[in-house]
């Protein structure tokens, strides 16, 4: 008979399942570096030095701002067993709204008014861009993976059109918006070069941690995520929940875009796409879909991305090597979740589609049935 695990044991199991994929990925990445004739210790020390040492930690925190907000946006929909993969289009549309209107609005009013008005506008634009996929999912059960990806592609193209034909800076020949003055961008946290958008992201993480774990909405969301049919039986409007979750997710992505433009870039060019959502996906699941729990994981990736870009260049590697490491983390995360579920190491937070995608090949390797 299986013995009941203590809360301490469950906590240890959760930590193990969250940390091991990163450890395994770094080990395999080190082996790849050796095969390529590179020094893994030199590469990893370069990551730490360029991502943390001296003033470099401040650059990592600046990069962490949009990543954390997008992570929370994904957590909200994933907890409802929904997919919002349209983050690129939503982010860029929110960003071009801010970048295209900020210089004129700041000149006409003040930076403070522009921050508030355009942040709300970016939140609204990004949220609205999720409405069609949300409605199709709620009304007809249409696969939201496909519809959000399609809307993202349209959003990326629409962003470029807006830059060229609506927000083009007439003073330059390259397709880009007008640039904000450095003095008009978000102020720094005193004593640092980290803009206050970082504090906004931390506060949002704390607020959503409270909402998801301490309120009736969070309880309804967990019931809905566990079983939409059961949710209907207890009086939860599943269709409305789908729409609300997508609106919240899109709105948070719009907030991330506003903080990134106001705090770091100040303008936009055509074909610019940081693709933040693709890189942080594994860390959202490693954090067990916890907004506050995602903070250290997003911080880790921010350091790795900031320092790793320079370390890769110094080692003669393509910066795409960082994507290889992220992919390795995703692979080991899915394997760890599979093994952990088999050995009853606690609840898996992987969406059903992702669990099904890994169950069959892993079951084939072990010679067991996929079901």
| Percentage of the residues of the chain whose pLDDT score is greater than 70 | 89
Distance of CA 197 to the CA centre of its chain: 16
Rounded to whole angstroms, the Cα distance separating 22 from 210 reads: 27
Q: Is residue 110 part of a domain?
A: yes
In a domain, 328, yes or no: no
Question: Is there a contact between 60 and 307 (Cβ–Cβ < 8 Å)?
Answer: yes
Full DSSP string of 280-320 = HHHHHHHTTT-TTTHHHHHHHHHHHHHHHHHHHHHTT--TT
Residue 353 has pLDDT above 80, yes or no: no
pLDDT in tens, 247-258: 999 999 999 999
6 in any annotated domain: no
Cα-to-chain-centroid distance, residue 245: 15
Does residue 345 form part of some domain? no
Lowest mean pLDDT among 49-53, 98-102, 224-228: 224-228
What pLDDT, in 10s, does the model give residues 185-204?
Answer: 999 999 999 999 999 999 99
Claim: this prediction has a pTM higher than 0.85 = yes
How many domains is the chain built from? Answer: 1
In a domain, 322, yes or no: no
Whether residue 234 contacts residue 223, with contact meaning beta carbons closer than 8 Å, is answered with yes
| Burial class of residue 158 (count of CB atoms within 10 Å of its CB; 0-12, 13-18, 19+) | middle
106 is in which domain, residue-wise?
64-291
| Predicted confidence (pLDDT) at residue 115 exceeds the cutoff of 80 | yes
**Mean pLDDT across the stretch 224-243?**
87
Instruction: Report yes or no on 315 lying in a domain.
Output: no
End-to-end CA distance of the chain: 23
Residue 317 belongs to some domain of the structure: no
Percent residues over pLDDT 90 in the chain: 74
Q: Which residue has the higher pLDDT, 233 or 48?
A: 48
Give the number of other CB atoms < 10 A from CB of residue 188.
Answer: 15
Per-residue confidence band for 341, with pLDDT thresholds at 50, 70 and 90: low
* Closest CA relative to residue 334, chosen from 361, 307, 295, 316: 361
220 within a domain of the structure (yes/no): yes
């Amino acid at each position: 008979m299986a013995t009941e695990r203590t809360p301490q044991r469950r906590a240890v199991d959760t930590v193990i399942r969250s940390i091991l994929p990163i450890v395994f990925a770094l080990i395999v990445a080190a082996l790849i570096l050796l095969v390529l004739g590179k020094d893994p210790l030199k590469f990893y020390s370069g990551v730490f030095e360029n991502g943390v040492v001296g003033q470099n930690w401040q650059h990592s925190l600046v990069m962490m701002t949009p990543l954390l907000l997008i992570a929370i946006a994904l957590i909200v929909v994933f907890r409802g067993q929904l997919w919002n993969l349209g983050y690129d289009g939503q982010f860029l549309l929110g960003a071009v709204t801010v970048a295209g209107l900020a210089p004129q609005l700041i000149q006409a009013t003040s930076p403070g008014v522009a921050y508030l008005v355009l942040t709300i506008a970016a939140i609204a634009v990004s949220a609205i861009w999720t409405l069609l996929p949300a409605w199709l999912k709620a009304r007809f059960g249409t696969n939201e993976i496909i519809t959000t990806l399609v809307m993202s592609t349209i959003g990326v193209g629409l962003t470029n059109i807006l830059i060229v034909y609506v927000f083009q800076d007439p003073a330059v020949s390259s397709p880009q918006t007008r640039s904000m003055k450095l003095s008009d961008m978000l102020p720094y946290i005193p004593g640092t070069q980290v803009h206050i958008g970082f504090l906004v992201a931390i506060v949002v993480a704390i607020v959503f941690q409270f909402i998801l774990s301490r309120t009736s909405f969070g309880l309804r969301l967990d019931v809905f995520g566990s079983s939409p049919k059961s949710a209907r039986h207890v009086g939860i409007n599943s269709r409305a929940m789908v729409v609300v979750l997508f609106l919240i997710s899109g709105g948070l992505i719009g907030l991330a875009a506003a903080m990134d433009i106001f705090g770091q870039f100040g303008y936009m060019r055509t074909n610019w796409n940081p693709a933040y959502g693709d890189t942080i996906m594994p860390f959202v699941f490693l954090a067990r879909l916890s907004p506050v729990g995602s903070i250290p994981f997003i911080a880790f990736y921010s350091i790795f991305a900031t320092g790793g870009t320079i370390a890769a260049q110094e080692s003669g590697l393509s910066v795409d090597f960082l994507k290889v490491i992220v992919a390795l983390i995703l692979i080991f995360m899915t394997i760890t979740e599979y093994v952990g579920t088999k050995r009853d190491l606690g609840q898996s937070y992987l969406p059903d589609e992702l669990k099904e995608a890994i169950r069959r090949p892993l079951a084939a390797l072990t010679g067991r049935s996929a079901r």
